[in-house]
Amino acid sequence: RHVPYGIKEKNLVKRYIDDAADFIIEQGVDALVIACNTATSIAIQDLRKTYDIPIIGMEPAVKPAVEICGDKRVIVLATPLTLNEDKFEDLVSKVDSDHIVDSLPLPELVNYAERFQFDDKEITKYLKKNLSKYDLDQYGTIVLGCTHFVYYKKIFRNILPGHIDIIDGNLGTIRHLKNVLKLNNIPNKQYSKEEIKDKNISFYLSGKKKDNNIIYKYLSILN
């Protein structure tokens, strides 16, 4: 109900994040994943000071992008708020010694995802318009720096030159979570997408409990 975060005023978004974290932790969770680059950049430090459970954040996969791009450039796609935060600038400054990283805000792509709009023609038009300012032959890697953007990975692949790698921070976050759970002796229960429909797992969307089939619908789009 409060999305998209990436175009709102920082203090307002921080309040939304704090409220959401309070609610989730009240459910008795053993660990919390801030599965949003914008939320991580704004709130992760304060959340870790407030709660005594492991809290894992996300950040755009700039480091691996720089490592694999060869002699070409990198574009980080994210929300305006993520790209304007000091956390992002600090991340880039640590790994981008050759100044090859560019950034492009795509706020409307979040709105498309939240509205369940996945029409190839409309999304393709939006992405082509925003990417047209770049000579894509000069780029080797594009970073999907917002968790919403992964829903459009296939469309990105269709419109980008074949030599460009498309990466995101999801896998790295999952690996980090598994390591943190192991270090803290927290049971690690893993379910396949198909099992989610039948398991007694609670899902909340914008503060309201949702049927597992709704979440399954989201996951099916990622196939």
100, 110, 146, 164: the active-site residue: 146
Contact indicator for 146, 112 with CB cutoff of 8 Å: no
What is the largest distance, in Å, between two alpha-carbon atoms of the chain? 50
Percentage above 90 pLDDT, the chain? 55
Q: Which residues pair with 203 in a beta bridge?
A: 210
Rounded mean pLDDT of the chain? 87
- The residue type of 165 is D
Instruction: List, for residues 181-190, the tens digit of each pLDDT value.
Output: 999 998 877 7
CA 141/CA 173 separation, integer angstroms: 19
State residue 221's pLDDT score. 62
Q: How confident is the model at residue 6 (pLDDT cuts 50, 70, 90)?
A: low
Instruction: List the strands of the sheet with 165-168, edge to edge.
Output: 101-105, 73-78, 139-144, 165-168
Catalytic residue status for 69: no
39-48, 166-175, 178-187, 212-221: least confident range: 212-221
Mean pLDDT of 193-213: 70
| Closest CA relative to residue 101, chosen from 149, 140, 146 | 140
Catalytic residue status for 146: yes
13, 17, 32, 36: the active-site residue: 36
CA 9/CA 81 separation, integer angstroms: 8
State residue 37's pLDDT score. 87
Contact indicator for 44, 69 with CB cutoff of 8 Å: no
- Asked if residue 114 has pLDDT above 90, the reply is no
State residue 51's pLDDT score. 94
